[in-house]
Amino acid sequence: MGGQAEPQSEPGTWNPWDHADPADNYAHEGFFLRLHLGPGGSSVTREGDSWSGFGVGLGLAIGVSPVENLALHLDLQSTWMFGPNDEVNGIGMQSNGVGATYYFVPINIFVSASAGLGWLTFENDTGQSKDTSFGFALNVLAGKEWWIGADWGVGVAAQLLYIHVQDYTDDEGLDAVAGNLLFTATYN
């Protein structure tokens, strides 16, 4: 179509099965994105009261790997506890923080931790909700991932989320703990 023809390959110089260097694939470097979701259990306590029940955890970590196998990221976490008792229909545990994830290669096991601000949301059976003040939040994960592509991995992780806040009705402290078994998908 008027363009120049591509140069011919010399016989024996082109291999259609030849791929890029495998060292460039399956590496934890550059942009980092982890999504996770899974079931678990939660508990919220204060002096004289406690709530516990089944929950679902989900989260997002987004950041960058400044060196191979180490990611620095912003963490957004949420766990919802369903129907802990008659007065409280559900309790939400939210946290935003900064953290780091380190991968032990070649087995692709990771540990991750973040610290930041957290808060609780109490919802009654009529759908009304009330948030607590902000407090300290700590999120810890440990897991294993398997590569499903040059940049994507999927796996499982155990999560422990801890939040300490002041109660909105008085100065008592509330301690919230969630333990979740998460399914992860990570781009790195």
CATH of the domain at 183: 2.40.160.20
Q: Where are the beta strands (DSSP E) in 68-89?
A: 70-82
Residue 4 lies in a domain: no
Residue 31 lies in a domain: yes
127: containing domain: 24-187
Split into its structural domains, the chain has a count of 1
Structure tokens belonging to residue 148: 């499903």
**Range from 72-76, 104-108, 172-176 that averages highest in pLDDT:** 72-76
Structure tokens belonging to residue 35: 């999504």
Burial of 36 (0-12, 13-18, 19+ CB in 10 A): buried
Residue 29 lies in a domain: yes
Whether pLDDT at 105 is above 80: yes
CA separation for the pair 180, 23 (Å, rounded) = 34
Q: What pLDDT sits at residue 98?
A: 98
Whether pLDDT at 19 is above 60: no
Residue 137 lies in a domain: yes
What is the average pLDDT value for the chain, to the nearest integer?
A: 88
Whether pLDDT at 5 is above 80: no
Residue 162 lies in a domain: yes
Q: For 40-66, what is the mean pLDDT?
A: 92
Q: What pLDDT sits at residue 63?
A: 97
Residue 6 lies in a domain: no
What Å distances lie between residue 16 and 9, 12, 19, 20, 180, CA to CA?
Answer: 12, 11, 8, 11, 46
